[in-house]
A and B are shown apart, each in its own frame.
Chain A
Amino acid sequence: MPENPTDLPPFARTWTQLYAIVIGSLVAEILFFYGLMHWLS
């Protein structure tokens, strides 16, 4: 199976960038949840 660079979505230029987006989203979600918990408690 070919590894085609055009498989990448328009918002990422490399696979490393896309992995960073996925991990960054997780970090953002954890921070958001933490903030939400404190705001509502």
Chain B
Amino acid sequence: MSVIDWSVLVLTLVGIMAYGLIRSRGSQSMDDYLLAGRSLPWYHVGLSVMATQASAVTFLSAPGQGFTDGMRFVQFYFGLPLAMVVLSVTFVPIFHKLKIYTAYEFLESRFDVRVRTLTSGLFLLQRGLSTGLSIYAPSIILSTILGWNIYWTNLLMGGMVLIYTVTGGTKAISYTHLQQMAVVTFAMALAGYLTVKMLPESVSFVDALHVAGKAGRMNLIDLKFDPSSRYNLWSGLIGGFFLQLSYFGTDQSQVGRYLTGQSIGQSRLGLLMNGLLKVPMQFLILLVGVLVFVFYQYNPSPTFFNKQETDKLKKSQYAGAYQLAEIKHQNLTTQRQRAVTDMEVALHADNEAGQDAAAIILRETDDALKLVKTDVTKLIQKNNPSADTNDVNYVFLRFVLDYLPHGLIGLLIAVIFSASMGSIASAYNSLASTTVVDIYKRLIKSDSDDAHYLNISRWATVGWGAFCIVVAQFANRLGSMIEAVNILGSLFYGVILGVFVVAFYVKSIGGRATFWAAIISEVLVIVSWYLDLTAFLWLNAIGCLLVVGIAWILQRIIPR
């Protein structure tokens, strides 16, 4: 990175933090600190909800996914608008009317303290661990590609957020979310525009889309119902609906965002804004990745985008095997360049037979290149068993560093930090509010004044921040556990949603039946995952339906 990049990065991040701190001065009560005095307008709520959901990996791996796998990942978000409508109709009015701080408070008024404590405990465990990984995931990518020390990157990433979260509370988080979303949108739009500009002059934006389509990257909709396929229309609409409903309805890091709305209507509008914008936003982010794919059809691409690992390979005993793979890769990219030029000529001449012939070569070359990459990945794993071989995360960053102008590189690194800070800040805040409201105030000390709870909230934020940074520091030693912890976290969502669905919609079921149904369902969901009975996304729906079904049966068996 050049001096210009560093200046842009530092100025952007300091500017965002300073703005958040200045705009949040005067938080004097727990209501102010945890829920911004329930005073924010809809666009604050909407952007805050979006910034919380969009993590750094969203902006790193989504373009990489577009590059590798095409646009089909967009289907994952189809359930989101439906979930926003259900939340607006059901959850938002109830949460607002009860004037609660956390979603779990509602469970005590509906069931009992046991159900509230169980769900808030599950949330704290899952969110605490996953926030540590939210710090670690972008840090490892930045550290690997820029040569930074991972421990300092973790500390910087988690520590900067802590400063404004502890000092300014929810208001600071919300104001920084506005700036973060502005920076992210501007930088990603600019990156997309420059990618198109860097294509050969004879290739227009529409030509680029045609090339992507012929190469199988515009695979936006898959109508086939296949429970084992992760991304198709049905898994996106049904599985995605349950996932998003669980996330936005029961995860305090999101509930805490829309409880800041100044009225039921403003909270609803914020969620519906998310419902309207999320799918187009993901479409555009994936499209940037697809455009990067088209760019590499005309230009030589790296065999493996994580250059640090291939550099290590060149100096290892596997250097010879790697060199052979590189030669194969170069031959294939030359073949690909010829095919894409033929495709362009056929497109301009409206020659369908020529387009189809070139498309066949493009797809065959693409498959052959993937095989070469698999071979290189195996070599990297042999050479360094702890290497990060998930190359999807490195595609976009490598492209940015190799081809985009100085200044924009700094801005895009700032995007990664901003997106990461946005979701981490909401997580710290939700961990603190759940600890104080559902555990400390409810079970430990219930008779103190507001100043005391405000003070405890600040300390809880510091404590959770430190915990998450420590988890991030140890994450690289967990190896395959990272995936396990991520899965473990998501396994809870369906069950927690089931508890809320019973609470909202099945009034005849009481706390005792729900408590035991949640425990039994959790065990069954974990067994289903362990036996690999279905694709990951469906576990949310299964967990939810199990809780409702088992609670209904138990209610009829267990005496009140």
Instruction: Judge whether B266 is part of the interface by a CB distance below 8 angstroms.
Output: yes
- B interface, size bucket: 35 or more
Which B residues are closer than 8 A to A by beta carbons? 38, 42, 71, 74, 78, 81-82, 84-85, 88-89, 93, 96-97, 99, 209-210, 212-214, 218-221, 233, 261-266, 268-269, 272, 275-276, 279-280, 283
Closest approach, in angstroms, between the C-beta of B549 and any C-beta of chain A?
27
Cβ-defined contact, A37 with B219, below 8 A? yes
Complex CA–CA separation, A41 to B261 (angstroms) = 44
Closest approach, in angstroms, between the C-beta of A32 and any C-beta of chain B?
9
Annotate A14-41 by CB proximity to B: 1 below 8 A, 0 otherwise: 0100110111011001100110110111
Complex CA–CA separation, A23 to B93 (angstroms) = 20
Q: Contacts A7-B265, A7-B269, A36-B220 given: A22-B213 contact, CB under 8 Å?
A: no
- A interface, size bucket: 20 to 34
Q: Which of B71, B209, B210, B263 is most buried by chain A, counting CB atoms within 10 A of its CB?
A: B263
Dominant SS among interface residues on chain B: helix
Cβ-defined contact, B82 with A26, below 8 A? yes
**Residues of chain B within 8 A of A25, CB atoms compared:** 81, 276
Cβ-defined contact, B85 with A7, below 8 A? no
Complex CA–CA separation, A30 to B549 (angstroms) = 32
For this complex, 11 residue pairs linking A to B, each with C-beta atoms less than 8 Å apart, are A1-B99, A1-B263, A7-B264, A9-B269, A15-B268, A22-B84, A22-B276, A30-B233, A33-B221, A36-B220, A40-B209
**Residues of chain A within 8 A of B209, CB atoms compared:** 40
Which listed residue (B89, B96, B99) contacts A19, Cβ 8 A?
Answer: B89
**Residues of chain A within 8 A of B218, CB atoms compared:** 36-37, 40-41
**Residues of chain A within 8 A of B89, CB atoms compared:** 15, 19
Q: Contacts A7-B265, A18-B272, A26-B279 given: A37-B212 contact, CB under 8 Å?
A: no
- Which residue on A lies nearest to B280, using beta carbons? A29
Closest approach, in angstroms, between the C-beta of B502 and any C-beta of chain A?
24
